[in-house]
Amino acid sequence: MESTLNQIDILEDKNRRAASGKIVAISISKKRGIPKTNVPSADLIENHGIEGDAHAGNWHRQVSFLALESINKMRKAGLPKLRPGAFAENITTEFIDIPNLQIGSQIKIGQDAVLEITQIGKECHSKCAIFVKIGDCVMPKEGIFAKVIKPGKIFEGDEVVVD
């Protein structure tokens, strides 16, 4: 009986733990609507976004996220050379089920930065070059958006924890 209770406690503890992964790329651009350039680090500014990025500002879509696993779907669909930032996402993660996170969830990155998820997916008003080439794009369905609620410097390779 005690062994069964210990197994139940272990399972419940696993379910309570936050999802975690890592940053595989940080990407910024000076203009909207274009692929972003990868950078080794970035400053997240509270209620603004990533310093120097065109999408930063006082609104609900300050920082965008896409999972490397989503990019890999598009690579397998016929675009093997796609790189992080090609979908204009700011932060590319690995090992986190980005499309199934919930609005209001908090994302802690590195030592200090905390973001809050504000939107899942987006409407695609004009078909991007990726959609035109293969007839699909993951960003509108699997990308998420967040606002910065606690500033900090983030680095490629930083741990990402979702609560």
Q: Mind listing the pLDDT tens digit of every residue in the chain (163 residues)?
A: 554 444 444 444 444 456 899 999 999 999 987 889 999 999 999 999 999 999 999 999 999 999 999 999 889 988 889 999 988 899 999 999 998 999 999 999 999 999 999 999 876 656 555 555 665 566 768 889 999 999 999 999 999 999 8
pLDDT for the residue numbered 134: 63
Cβ-proximal residues to 9 (8 Å cutoff; 6+ apart), any chain: none
pLDDT for the residue numbered 160: 98
pLDDT for the residue numbered 126: 60
Structural domains in the chain, CATH included, are 19-162 (2.40.33.20)
Two structure tokens written together for 29: 């651009």
Indicate the length of the chain as a whole number. 163
Strand, coil or helix: 163: coil
Two structure tokens written together for 99: 């499309």
Report the distance separating Cα 152 and Cα 43, nearest Å: 6
**Is residue 47 left, alpha or beta, with left meaning phi > 0 and alpha meaning psi from -120 to 50?**
left
* Residue whose C-alpha is closest to residue 84's, from 159, 27, 141: 27
- In angstroms, what is the C-alpha Rg of the chain? 17
Report the distance separating Cα 101 and Cα 120, nearest Å: 8
pLDDT for the residue numbered 127: 59
pLDDT for the residue numbered 130: 56
